A and B are shown apart, each in its own frame.
Chain A
């Protein structure tokens, strides 16, 4: 059985040059992340702290939200609550109407993507300009993000250059130099900042104790968006709340190191109230989050801070690209969030995982990503999507991993697979095997080599 992911992945894989570039790009970010983590002796303590702070906050979220609301209101912000995407979009439109807004400058927010805000605004005649360079490129090309932190990294400089020529923001036809193109975008976006009536941002963190909204960017576009227009609208998922500055110190040290391999983003801005003479609105969005909290097996997805590290490391994501997944958030966390949002549409992504556990090891909040994917697969038959072959394989893996004796035996016999006829090991009966050759097992297993003293520690 093929799923939408395997079919799309097959297409992506046809352009081997593109696959290699994609793979190497994200791997290089993973390498940078490793270097950052090795610089800090307290790295693992930071991750553990982040995980526990999130667990604590999420399981006391009602109290923290009330505290946040109280403090933000005291600071002069106006707090709104939205139970779903429709209510959220309406609240935004209401605010914009009240202020007779014609043009909105937006800094990157996955939540607005989740709620399809842009379509809603455009339908109501609002001019929406994305200001993160990557997002702006995608908006001009009518494409969706393929990664949550580096949304347009799959687009080549030539494509960007030609797009800018079409939009008349690149006067030098044929100049595809990234510095030149970035400069063109700078002037183009400046014009938009100058004339916008409203700036919209997401929120990387909300701080209950002070009412701050914290936004992290490298370009400074969230700051440009909120320094010129007088109206600022923040959209934030409920789970972005943290207790206080002590917690913020922990998350600050992890976010950029994990996401892009930098020790910090260039800007970490704390918005604690409206500009003089302006208005600041904060919309707290549920859209399924409170329900996830009640899901015993998957509530820990709420610990996610959307850093993107799990995508960068995932061998399947790196080699199949963001568009192969059916959910707008791809990669390990996207597989899980997609299942929580709409399993009938997104079970297609479940095969996009080799259970290598690399994602678990890089996640700064210790979300148990691969175990969750495994649990979804086990639950597939209950949903009527189980494929007997997959069930068999998953069960087999479970038995193997759960009985160490059998695992050792299996490893010893694994080299036999090297001599099996190719049509068996490359079996195309099912979605799992498609596009995956059987791994070639070493003639002597690691265990055996170790015992014989051939491996030196």
Chain B
């Protein structure tokens, strides 16, 4: 018998009593104003910055305003003036040295600042390797809690990857002192659009 069948066999043999899946219909906390709650969470506990972008704003100017010292910008978002493109670099390594990566966010969650990032680029490294990250989020996509967020996440079948990101990379591994930028982005700014 293969290991697989042996394991499955043991699991079937060793169950004595079975249990049903519970009803998950209990009441969950929702916010009266999820957008307001998202802004609050993002800029406090998540440790990110947030800029509201108006329909007539020039997004490239806003990027400059957010990170005036950035030399290398990477993005595949249409309309962004980028020095490197995660779709066209030969290797993920080529994105190292990116000062600011600009990516699109999907559903965003007010209770914890999580923003769903669906991989829509060849090298997802842009989401992690960039020194700082700008994530563009539409107010229309903000929900209250993770139950709702999980109903809305999308996957691009070509890339089969997605991640919730809430603020910059953090660690408290040295004597519990909170430090931003252990491995991935050191800073994160949400561009909140209508």
Q: Which of A56, A160, A238, A266 contacts B168 (CB 8 A)?
A: A266
A-B interface pairs (CB < 8 A), number: 238
A249-B150, A263-B41 are contacts. A290–B158 as well, Cβ < 8 Å?
A: no
Q: For B159, list chain A residues within 8 Å (CB).
A: 275-276
Interface string of B107-136 (1 = CB under 8 A from A): 000011110000000111101110000000
Question: Is A293's CB under 8 angstroms from B3's CB?
Answer: no
Q: How far is the CA of A346 from the CA of B81 in the complex (A)?
A: 61
Question: Is A182's CB under 8 angstroms from B174's CB?
Answer: yes
Question: Is B160's CB under 8 angstroms from A55's CB?
Answer: no
B47 to chain A, nearest CB (A): 9
Which residues of chain A in 157-179 are interfacial with respect to chain B, using CB atoms and an 8 Å cutoff? Answer: 157, 160, 178-179
Q: For B162, list chain A residues within 8 Å (CB).
A: 269-270, 272
Interface size on B, residues (CB 8 A): 75
Q: How far is the CA of A151 from the CA of B174 in the complex (A)?
A: 10
Q: How far is the CA of A294 from the CA of B9 in the complex (A)?
A: 12
Instruction: Tell me whether A189 is interfacial, beta carbon within 8 Å.
Output: yes
Q: How far is the CA of A60 from the CA of B15 in the complex (A)?
A: 8
Among A219, A250, A286, which residue has the most Cβ atoms of chain B within 10 A?
Answer: A219
Question: Is B29's CB under 8 angstroms from A267's CB?
Answer: no
Question: Is A223's CB under 8 angstroms from B7's CB?
Answer: no
Q: For B128, list chain A residues within 8 Å (CB).
A: 220, 223-224, 227
Q: Which of B7, B19, B124 contacts A227 (CB 8 A)?
A: B124
Question: Is A268's CB under 8 angstroms from B163's CB?
Answer: yes
Question: Is B168's CB under 8 angstroms from A246's CB?
Answer: no
Question: Is B163's CB under 8 angstroms from A223's CB?
Answer: yes
B76 to chain A, nearest CB (A): 14
Q: For A76, list chain B residues within 8 Å (CB).
A: 160
B190 to chain A, nearest CB (A): 14
Q: Which of B16, B21, B150, B175 contacts A56 (CB 8 A)?
A: B21
Which residues of chain A in 65-85 are interfacial with respect to chain B, using CB atoms and an 8 Å cutoff? Answer: 65-66, 75-76, 81-83
Instruction: Tell me whether A248 is interfacial, beta carbon within 8 Å.
Output: yes
A194-B93, A272-B155 are contacts. A267–B8 as well, Cβ < 8 Å?
A: no
Which residues of chain B in 171-192 are interfacial with respect to chain A, using CB atoms and an 8 Å cutoff? Answer: 171-177, 179, 181-185
A224-B129, A267-B184, A294-B14 are contacts. A218–B150 as well, Cβ < 8 Å?
A: no
Q: For A414, list chain B residues within 8 Å (CB).
A: none
Q: How far is the CA of A250 from the CA of B26 in the complex (A)?
A: 11
Closest to A295 in B: B14
- Size category of the binding interface on chain A: 35 or more
Q: How far is the CA of A179 from the CA of B161 in the complex (A)?
A: 31
Q: How far is the CA of A249 from the CA of B12 in the complex (A)?
A: 27
A156-B175, A190-B96, A220-B185 are contacts. A62–B12 as well, Cβ < 8 Å?
A: yes
Question: Is A264's CB under 8 angstroms from B166's CB?
Answer: yes
Among A41, A87, A272, which residue has the most Cβ atoms of chain B within 10 A?
Answer: A272
A298 to chain B, nearest CB (A): 12
Question: Is B15's CB under 8 angstroms from A293's CB?
Answer: yes
Question: Is B169's CB under 8 angstroms from A291's CB?
Answer: no
Interface string of B135-170 (1 = CB under 8 A from A): 000000000011101110101001111111111111
Interface-side segment among A128-136, A405-413, A428-436: A128-136
Instruction: Tell me whether A17 is interfacial, beta carbon within 8 Å.
Output: no
Question: Is B24's CB under 8 angstroms from A246's CB?
Answer: yes
Question: Is A267's CB under 8 angstroms from B175's CB?
Answer: no
A226 to chain B, nearest CB (A): 8
Q: Which of A48, A66, A75 contacts B8 (CB 8 A)?
A: A66
Q: For A75, list chain B residues within 8 Å (CB).
A: 160
Q: For B46, list chain A residues within 8 Å (CB).
A: 266
Question: Is B150's CB under 8 angstroms from A263's CB?
Answer: no
Question: Is A249's CB under 8 angstroms from B179's CB?
Answer: no
Question: Is B155's CB under 8 angstroms from A266's CB?
Answer: no
A62-B11, A228-B92, A250-B24 are contacts. A137–B163 as well, Cβ < 8 Å?
A: no
A40-B29, A227-B124, A266-B170 are contacts. A276–B158 as well, Cβ < 8 Å?
A: yes
Q: For B56, list chain A residues within 8 Å (CB).
A: none
The 9 A-B residue pairs whose C-beta atoms are closest, nearest first, are A220-B184, A294-B14, A273-B160, A134-B173, A264-B112, A52-B22, A263-B112, A290-B10, A272-B160
Residues of chain B whose beta carbon lies under 8 Å from any beta carbon of chain A: 2-4, 6-8, 10-22, 24, 26-29, 41, 45-46, 92-93, 96, 111-114, 122-125, 127-129, 145-147, 149-151, 153, 155, 158-177, 179, 181-185
20 A-B pairs whose Cβ atoms sit less than 8 Å apart in the complex: A42-B27, A48-B22, A75-B160, A81-B4, A134-B173, A178-B174, A178-B175, A182-B181, A227-B129, A238-B11, A249-B146, A253-B111, A262-B45, A264-B113, A266-B167, A266-B170, A270-B153, A276-B159, A284-B7, A291-B14
